[in-house]
Amino acid sequence: MTSGERGFALVAVLLVLGLLGIIGAEFSYSMRLEASAIRAFRDNINAAHLAEAGLEQALRELSGDVKAVSEAVDGLLTFYSQQLGGQQLVAQQLVALPRLPRTRVRLGPGEFSYRITDEQARLSIGGNPNQQRLDKLLQCLGIDKNKRDQIVDSILDWADPNEEHRLNGAESDDYYLTLPTPYRARNGPIESVNELLQIKGVTPTLFEGADGKPGLRDVLTARATGPPNINTAGPVVFCAMTISDAEISEIVQTRREIPYTPQTNRLSGRGFGATTQTFRIEAEGVIDGRPRASLTAIAQTRPAPVNATVVVEWSGVR
């Protein structure tokens, strides 16, 4: 074999070895990528189950003999039961129930956390929304009048049964069907607070809240079964119900000591109740210290003879 032939053979061998190296590296990369995708899929499934476990533990808390709820100093919802032997529910007979663990609860491959809030701490927009109260609520959130008029009229148009829009409102034919992704107004009672994101004038920032201000999702509900609860309502809801700052301060301080009852409810004549049956549960599943799935559910406690807690609305897991 001549030197030229030997040189050609060497080059051919080097090319084959290089090609085999590239194929091997590509195969290894593909295997790592597939393994990573499988792990991510597995972690997402596990996180979804963990979030659901958080929901189940929250429902367990709600299934107790709860006579009253209130926010403690740490801002978390606390449940109260009635002392044995009490014939009438009065504040002196209420006993705080121990909380179940709600944060970073270890379970199987990860952890779950959940938060329970009182859905009746919010103003109801189910049925026929109250125009004056909606306007006052937006005013309390710092929304200027022109924007308030548009949002209030659009909410009322969304919920009414006809296609006639108000001065600053919107209906299907004149607005929603002209959008890049067209849809129709409900023209019926709002079924979920999330519908507000579809209504003219409601931006994601206004819905979610920003700069330390609550969003519409925090102060409005479509699922509450009764009036706002004096024990859990926030400053914006009190403001919307025209309660003075001095009264709000006194009420918040008093209810942290012991919840108001129907007998001691000082605002019963001004549209407030002292009990609740509807709660919002927000749960998340955590894998390797990272939230990988979350859900939000609305649950209602049903009195005797049912004596059950029922999930009436669900969004997630994502």
With cut-offs at 50, 70 and 90, classify the pLDDT of residue 16.
confident
Q: How is residue 146 written in tokens?
A: 């022109």
Q: Does residue 85 or residue 159 have the better pLDDT?
A: 159
Tell me how far apart the alpha carbons of residues 72 and 258 are, in angstroms, rounded to a whole number. Answer: 9
* pLDDT for the residue 73: 83
- For residue 113, the model assigns a pLDDT of 97
The rounded percent of the chain whose pLDDT value lies above 70 is 93
- What's the CATH class of domain 123-270? mainly alpha
Q: Lowest mean pLDDT of 65-69, 248-252, 279-283, name the range.
A: 65-69
For the chain, the average pLDDT equals 88
Number of residues that make up the chain: 318
Neighbours of 166 (CB within 10 A): 16
| 219 has pLDDT over 70 | yes
pLDDT recorded at residue 105: 96
Tell me which of 45-59, 89-103, 123-137, 194-208 is least confident.
89-103
Residue 55 has pLDDT above 90, yes or no: yes
Domain boundaries, the chain: 3-119+276-316, 123-270
Confidence class for position 21, pLDDT limits 50, 70, 90:
confident
Separation between Cα atoms, residue 316 and residue 280, nearest integer Å: 13
If you average pLDDT over residues 9-13, what whole number do you get?
A: 73
Respond yes or no on whether the N-terminal peptide bond of residue 291 is cis (omega within 30° of 0).
no
pLDDT at 185: 93
Place 7 in a pLDDT band, splitting at 50, 70 and 90.
low
pLDDT tens for 90-130 read: 555 788 888 899 999 999 999 999 999 999 999 999 888 89
> What pLDDT digit, counting tens, does each position of 140-178 carry?
999 999 999 999 999 999 999 998 989 999 998 889 999
Take residue 130 and report the two structure tokens written for it: 């109250």
**What pLDDT, on a 0 to 100 scale, did the predictor assign at position 58?**
95
Across the range 186-201, mean pLDDT stands at 94
Q: Which amino acid is at 286?
A: V
pLDDT band at 184 (very low <50, low <70, confident <90, very high): very high
Between 260 and 303, residue with greater pLDDT:
260
Task: State whether the Cα torsion 20-23-27-32 is positive or negative.
Answer: positive
Cβ partners under 8 Å of residue 259, min gap 6: 68, 69, 70, 80, 91, 94, 231, 274
85: its two tokens: 């032997």
DSSP states along the chain: --HHHHHHHHHHHHHHHHHHHHHHHHHHHHHHHHHHHHHHHHHHHHHHHHHHHHHHHHHHHHTS---EEEE-TTS-EEEEEEPTT-SS--GGGEEEPPPPP-SSEEETTEEEEEEEEEGGGSEE-SSS--HHHHHHHHHHTT--HHHHHHHHHHHHHHHSSSS---TT---TTTTGGGSSS------S----GGGGGGSTT--HHHHH--TT---HHHHEES---SSPBTTT--HHHHHHTT--HHHHHHHHHHHHHS---TTT-TTGGGT-BS---EEEEEEEEEETTEEEEEEEEEEEEE-TTT-EEEEEEEEE--
Tell me the C-alpha to C-alpha distance, in Å, between residue 272 and each of 66, 72, 80, 229.
19, 19, 19, 6
pLDDT of residue 1: 61
- Residues facing 316 on adjacent strands: 295
Which amino acid, 219? V
In the chain, % of residues over pLDDT 90: 61
| Whole-prediction pTM | 0.84
Q: Please, which residues bridge with residue 282 across strands?
A: 115, 296
